[in-house]
């Protein structure tokens, strides 16, 4: 009788334990994976939005619509401001997604392709409203889209992806939100248009506030996991180095050749952004706010270029003229600049403003380091040199029983008929009459 009672008690404890395990998996913000990715930002994340906008309103296509853009990976232009893939492309690929489709230019009612995510980033987009910037004498020649417009576009799309408020919250709870990088154009446009640095510094808290309010808007809708990159070291950009060529010698970093005061400006933005993200964390402790230090990650390339295979750190691969192979009046892709360097992988800068594909590939490693430090279920992953191998490694880990690895899955929700199989392993005491290892498979 004692043995029977003991077994009954053990079964009851096991059932309670199993329910707790299942509940924690189902109610986890990301279930160890994401079911969709939604991204916002500018040309560093734009996978074709500006191109689609130009095609839909019959304006002049951006120079990213022409070769040599896209030459390295796609072998044709896609609207990406790069010779190949962007950070968001590598991130999506590593998490088991297809490349995120651009939202703009899509026909209303044909939004099924956005079920697993959408890209709202538009090249030349700013954080601040274009009309406000125009009042400050700062203009964008390519688009009047700002972060607020992108977020509103997402809110317009959302009801088409989920049939009820509760399901929309469930969708967002299992989505990864990539918020930027955004704000760089607010500063770049101002610097290139000759605005004084003290006036530009006044924009920084306003830019950070817009990023913060956009995150809070999405939190109210149900989003719980955000990647928020900081600004890059703009003092190393060939475009701004060309703009301020001839500056006093002591304004340059002797080790890198970058303009110190411009990099300090980027650090100022990043410092304010990090403080504001900490405020959001304090207000919403259940939310994952993951800051990605693009500045620190990118500076490694300038401090140790040979380590990463770079021969040219401050020259544009696709450019013409001057010390930095950049002319602000002659765009890569537009005649006469239809050729690029022979080996983009040996350059940090692609066109004087944007990075080469190989830089983006390195940068996504930093993204994963931040993801893994925040989301334990990704803790055993290490991006390899190629994401095909990385993906295979993820699958091999799962096959060997590493239950922390879920490279792709769909959450259990009231509006889906998903069957989630959960393997639970329980180690029991050696004094129990029950076998030492009980392996139970539960299907919901």
pLDDT for 16-30, tens place per residue? 444 433 333 333 433
The burial class, CB within 10 Å (0-12 / 13-18 / 19+), for 369 is middle
pLDDT at 12: 54
Cβ–Cβ under 8 Å, residues 389 and 397: no
Q: Which residues of the chain have pLDDT under 70?
A: 1-32, 107-109, 376-444
Task: Say if CB 123 and CB 50 are below 8 A apart.
Answer: yes
H helices, E strands: number in the chain: 14, 9
Angstrom CA distances, 422 to 234, 325, 366, 408, 442, stand at: 47, 56, 31, 14, 6
What is the predicted pLDDT for the residue at 51?
96
Are the beta carbons of 236 and 264 closer than 8 angstroms?
A: no
Active site residues: 43, 351, 354
Asked if residues 423 and 439 have their Cβ atoms less than 8 Å apart, the reply is yes
Helix (H) or strand (E) holding 210: helix 204-221
Tokens 């990385």 locate to 390
CA distance 113 to 261: 44
Closest residue by Cα to residue 231 from 181, 277, 197: 181
Give the total residue count for the chain. 444
Kind and range of the H or E run holding 119: strand 117-119
**Percent of the chain scoring above 90 in pLDDT:** 69
pLDDT at residue 59, rounded to an integer: 75
CA distance 366 to 380: 15
Which of 265, 175, 154 is closest to 217 using CA atoms? 154
What per-residue confidence (pLDDT) applies to 311? Answer: 98
Cα–Cα distance between 274 and 236 in angstroms, integer? 22
Return the DSSP state at 437. E
Pick from 170, 201, 193, 324: which is nearest to 266 by CA? Answer: 201
**What residue ranges define each of the domains in the chain, with the CATH number in brackets?**
32-405 (3.40.50.1110)
d(CA 259, CA 240): 9
């Amino acid at each position: 009788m004692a043995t029977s009672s003991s077994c009954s008690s053990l079964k009851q404890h096991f059932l309670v334990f199993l329910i707790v395990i299942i509940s924690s998996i189902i109610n986890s913000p990301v279930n160890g994976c994401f079911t969709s990715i939604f991204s916002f930002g500018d040309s560093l994340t734009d996978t074709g939005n500006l191109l689609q906008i130009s095609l839909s309103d019959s304006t002049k296509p951006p120079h990213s619509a022409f070769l040599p853009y896209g030459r390295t990976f796609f072998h044709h232009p896609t609207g990406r401001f790069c010779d190949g893939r962007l950070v968001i492309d590598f991130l999506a690929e590593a998490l088991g997604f297809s490349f995120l489709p651009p939202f703009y230019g899509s026909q209303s009612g044909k939004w099924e392709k956005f079920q697993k995510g959408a890209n709202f980033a538009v090249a030349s987009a700013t954080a601040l409203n274009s009309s406000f910037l125009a009042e400050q004498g700062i203009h964008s020649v390519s688009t009047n889209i700002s972060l607020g417009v992108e977020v509103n576009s997402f809110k317009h799309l959302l009801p088409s992806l989920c049939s009820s408020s509760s399901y929309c919250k469930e969708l967002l709870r299992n989505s990864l939100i990539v918020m930027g990088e955004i704000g760089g154009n607010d500063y770049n446009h101002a610097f290139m248009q000759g605005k004084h640095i003290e006036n530009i510094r006044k924009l920084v808290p306003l830019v950070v506030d817009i990023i913060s309010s956009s995150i809070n808007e999405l939190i109210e809708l149900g989003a719980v996991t955000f990647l928020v990159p900081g600004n890059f070291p703009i003092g190393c950009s060939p475009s701004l180095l060309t703009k301020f060529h001839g500056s006093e010698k002591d304004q340059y970093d002797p080790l890198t050749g970058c303009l110190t005061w411009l990099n300090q400006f980027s650090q100022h933005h990043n410092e304010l952004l990090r403080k504001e993200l900490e405020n959001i964390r304090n207000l919403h402790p259940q939310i994952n706010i993951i800051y990605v230090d693009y500045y620190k990650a990118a500076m490694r390339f300038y401090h140790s270029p040979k380590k990463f295979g770079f021969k040219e750190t401050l020259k544009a691969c696709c450019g013409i003229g001057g010390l930095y192979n950049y002319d602000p009046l002659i765009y890569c892709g537009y005649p006469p600049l239809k050729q690029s360097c022979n080996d983009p992988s040996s350059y940090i800068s692609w066109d004087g403003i944007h990075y080469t594909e190989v830089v983006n590939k390195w940068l996504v490693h930093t993204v994963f380091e931040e993801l893994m430090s925040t989301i334990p279920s990704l803790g055993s992953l290490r991006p390899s040199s190629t994401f095909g191998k990385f993906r295979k490694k993820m699958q091999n880990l799962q096959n060997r029983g590493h239950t922390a690895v879920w490279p792709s899955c769909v959450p259990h929700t009231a509006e889906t008929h998903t069957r989630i199989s959960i393997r639970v392993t329980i180690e029991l005491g050696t004094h129990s009459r029950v076998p030492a290892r009980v392996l139970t498979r539960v299907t919901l």
